[in-house]
Structure 1
Amino acid sequence: MEGSGLHKEMQTIAVVYPAAPPGDRKLGETRRRLFWIARALNIILSFEFGRSRVSFDVITTRKFTPEHGSHAHHFVELADMLPNDYVDREREPDPPAALGNALTKIEELQSDSAFITLLKADLAFAIYRRLWLMSLTDAKDRADSVISIGKAALSASAALLEIRTPWWNVVHAPFQFLCVVLAVGTPRSLVHIQRVMDLLHKIATTFDTHMTREAYNQAAALVKMSKKRKEKELEALNGVPEAPLFEDPPSVGNSVGMTEAPNWDWAVDLPFEWDIFLNPDLVMSTQQEQFAMDGQFNGHMGV
């Protein structure tokens, strides 16, 4: 882009530039669209894969005009929402806040494009992985936002599947969403597992490739591991005998005695055991170690 001068308006790359005839206005818009979309693609892929983005000293190319029926401007808007140098404490003193602000902007962006909806989810999941590694508290606070974006992505993936439009994130977004809901591990998040698995199975049967089958099989393996872990946790809790309560008199100024068991219903949605899925290197079972040796578990998790 830089070598061909697309990052600058045509009038700025020549000392003397004659007025373009009306028919050449399309050339200017094409140059702008080409540059900004290419730049957005570089920013998005760099962010998702943790690579340095290409930067320009001076950009004079104006943003292209949105066209009816096109969502290219939303693609560029999403790229511009991503924070730059989020690990550079000198340029960004509060990286978790920058990531949280980006997540808010992505959630607020409205579009009727299924592709943009899937892309929103991909970026939200990428932000969430970084946010969790930087600040567990901030990650817990934004779980509902990420799940809401993920739910919309499931509908978008199903819609593209129906019209046989195999964008790469048709399978990628549902798989990543499964990893998120398993990692959060609350009843409100786990309730989406069946819907995700049904969609991944339908994707694998519609686009019958090694990648789609592997995605479904890996998803099933993750669900199985999560289920076994929770069964062991439940088994350990069930092994604890019912503890008798002390029959203390009521506290002074309180009409309710201590014999009444506390209500813990509010706690059922508290997330726990995030490290199993968002950072599998911290806690590994024998089965997880095998996944790591094969390079499959960490690769699919995007960690």
Structure 2
Amino acid sequence: MRQRARRACVACRRRKRKCDGQVPCRNCSDYEYRCVYEPTASRRFSLDESPRPAANTMPKPVGTDSQASPAFTNVEERAHRSPQSPARTRGFLDLLKSRYMNKESSVSFPRSLAVELQTSNLPRLHAFAYHAGVRGEPTFSPQHHLIDLITLVQVKRLLDIYESIIHPIFGFLEIDNLGRQCDAHWNGNAQGSAFEAIACGFITLASLFSDFLTPQVEATIVEHAKALLESPYPVSNPTVHWVMAWILRTIYLRATSRPYIAWMSSCTTMHVAESVGLHRSLHQVTVLASSGTNLLEQTIETRERTFQVARSLNLLISYDYGRSSINLGVSNARPLASRQNDFTTQICGLICGIAADDAASDTTSENTDLFLLLDKVSNAPAEHDFIVLTRAELALCIYRRLHHFGHILNEDKIDQIIEVGMPALEAARRLAAVGHPWWNVLSTVFHFICVLLSINSNKSLERVAEAVRTMEALAQYLGTHMAREAVQTAKDLVKAALDQRRKATQSLENALTGSAALGRSPNVEAFQDSDWNLFLQPFDQNYFESFADFPQQYFAEVAQQNLPDMAPNGI
């Protein structure tokens, strides 16, 4: 026999509906009513009192007011206070499907309308009548299964490599949980397509940084990840795990592929993050209680770390490539909690500092904020070689914008750029020596040479030799066509700068040689018998005839001194 609730909230009693006695109750959660209970002899239960959440409720977000209600009850209580003062939550978050929709979306409006109409049949968050429906959705069958391509022993070894090299910089995966999922997946308990996409991501990245797998096996796993990410799975069931898989793919593509492909991948990552609401705090949304609070598998911190890493990659790749980044209206992200031996907070703080400057906007790029941004980047802490390179990479990006818009750099700003770039040379050498092919190992050094030549001052040109030697050392370490091509291009640019300097020097030498020739005194004795009053008389018809008596010996001597090959024997 079903147990009846011992109490009912005010809203359910007024509408004569069954109440489950929870805080908030199911009805109030679905209809976004304010769930309040009448006081009893024991105590009054209401959302305003912020009751302690049950064990299966959402943990309170880090950094919120200690007096605020738990995440679910707080947002839903604000969602429907009264018709006169409606709450302005930004959208719906369906935890069951990990789907987020803005309130103004055509997908969410039918549900909002049903709430306003107080109907007993709330429509689900769904794209009703989005198209005519004359074709069904495509099916997908993967060509490979990851367990057939690689053994569990190899996976565990690659996970250790990933944890030691990539995870300290981009720390968004839950490594311990991932290891347990690997055990289950390779022992017959399939963990789903999203897990397999994540596994492909860390496997290929770890192989890239260790050469653990053959290039053929690595390429097959990369293609398998691509097939999973572009399949209907992420669309039909978007979760934070698909965002994680896209982040891993973006890092791999940035380190191995063309700029456009890496940029498109970073933009896709941001859009997938938007689809699951990672850009919104849980206090900004209406959480559909029908989803069940215990269905949120990831913690608040994991959500925030995942979003900030995705955002940092998109900003960095876009800023370097000169393309627009994805702006989801996030101005000030909450600082991440620091962890031991973790540099995620440092790298995200460094990169997100450029968020105010849109690479596609000339108006923001032309103002003096670029100089302030250069100060900020130059003074940012960098405790890892990759971050040292990234800091220099951003400084060079800022210089290119200043140069493009014709800003003149004073000596202090030139010193800033040089002081940020020089440590990057040693950082690149160290990373290349241990076989860590981060994308900026080669690119930052190459573009530092370009900027030194562009500055074209004595201070900058003094550093070119060391930068070129570093490029040559990197080419030796890497042994790739990309490295050799970059070295040759850098040397060609140095030669062009040298030729330009030689031409300028020759012009100055010619000026000095010409001045010496013109400075020798000709024989002026011939002037003594000249009638100089002729030059002072008004112009008349006898003016040019007077030059007939001018000493021809003077003209002959001047011509012989300055034009020895062209001067005739006489004038």
Q: Deviations over 1:185-230 (max 9, x none)?
A: 1221111111111111111111111100100010111111111221
TM-aligned CA distance change 1:64 to 1:18, over 3 Å: farther
Once residues 422 and 370 of structure 2 are traced to their aligned partners in structure 1, the CA distance between those partners, rounded to angstroms, is 20
SS of 1:166's partner is coil
Identity fraction in percent: 29
Once residues 182 and 44 of structure 1 are traced to their aligned partners in structure 2, the CA distance between those partners, rounded to angstroms, is 24
Mark the runs of 5 or more structure 2 residues left unpaired by the alignment: 1-272, 520-571
**Cα distance, 1:20 vs. partner?**
6.5
Q: 1:120 aligns to what? A: 391
- Pick from 314, 327, 331: which aligns with 1:42? 314
- Pick from 458, 470, 485: which aligns with 1:214? 485
**Cα distance, 1:84 vs. partner?**
2.5
Q: 2:474 aligns to what? A: 203
Q: Deviations over 1:228-272 (max 9, x none)?
A: 22112212212233658x9xxxxxxxxxxxxxxxxxxxxxxxxxx
Q: 1:259 aligns to what? A: none
TM-aligned CA distance change 1:59 to 1:148, over 3 Å: closer
Q: Is this contact kept in 2: 1:9–1:62, CA < 8 A?
A: no
Q: Deviations over 1:132-186 (max 9, x none)?
A: 2224324765221111111111121122122221111111111111011111112
Q: Is this contact kept in 2: 1:203–1:212, CA < 8 A?
A: yes
Q: Is this contact kept in 1: 2:391–2:420, CA < 8 A?
A: yes
Q: 1:285 aligns to what? A: none
Once residues 129 and 174 of structure 1 are traced to their aligned partners in structure 2, the CA distance between those partners, rounded to angstroms, is 15
TM-aligned CA distance change 1:96 to 1:59, over 3 Å: closer
TM-score by length of 1: 0.71
Q: 2:347 aligns to what? A: 75
Q: Give 1:290-301 correspondences, 5 Å limit.
A: none
SS of 1:240's partner is helix
Q: Is this contact kept in 2: 1:33–1:63, CA < 8 A?
A: no
Q: 1:31 aligns to what? A: 303
Q: 1:14 aligns to what? A: 287
TM-aligned CA distance change 1:8 to 1:184, over 3 Å: same
Q: 2:453 aligns to what? A: 182
Q: Deviations over 1:68-126 (max 9, x none)?
A: 2111112211222213336353xx4x833111111100011112111111001111111
Please tell me the residue identity of whatever aligns with 1:234. T
Please tell me the residue identity of whatever aligns with 1:84. D
**Larger Rg, first or second structure (1 or 2):** 2
TM-aligned CA distance change 1:141 to 1:135, over 3 Å: farther
Once residues 150 and 41 of structure 1 are traced to their aligned partners in structure 2, the CA distance between those partners, rounded to angstroms, is 21
Q: 1:134 aligns to what? A: 405
Q: Is this contact kept in 2: 1:111–1:117, CA < 8 A?
A: yes
Once residues 59 and 231 of structure 1 are traced to their aligned partners in structure 2, the CA distance between those partners, rounded to angstroms, is 50
Q: Is this contact kept in 2: 1:154–1:196, CA < 8 A?
A: yes
Mark the runs of 5 or more structure 1 residues left unpaired by the alignment: 247-303
SS of 2:299's partner is helix
TM-aligned CA distance change 1:59 to 1:99, over 3 Å: closer
- Pick from 326, 333, 358: which aligns with 1:85? 358
Aligned-CA RMSD value = 2.8
Once residues 106 and 213 of structure 1 are traced to their aligned partners in structure 2, the CA distance between those partners, rounded to angstroms, is 30
Please state if 1:66 is matched with 2:361.
no
**Cα distance, 1:30 vs. partner?**
1.6
Q: 2:442 aligns to what? A: 171
Once residues 221 and 15 of structure 1 are traced to their aligned partners in structure 2, the CA distance between those partners, rounded to angstroms, is 62
TM-aligned CA distance change 1:202 to 1:60, over 3 Å: closer
Please tell me the residue identity of whatever aligns with 1:40. S
Once residues 399 and 410 of structure 2 are traced to their aligned partners in structure 1, the CA distance between those partners, rounded to angstroms, is 7
TM-score by length of 2: 0.39
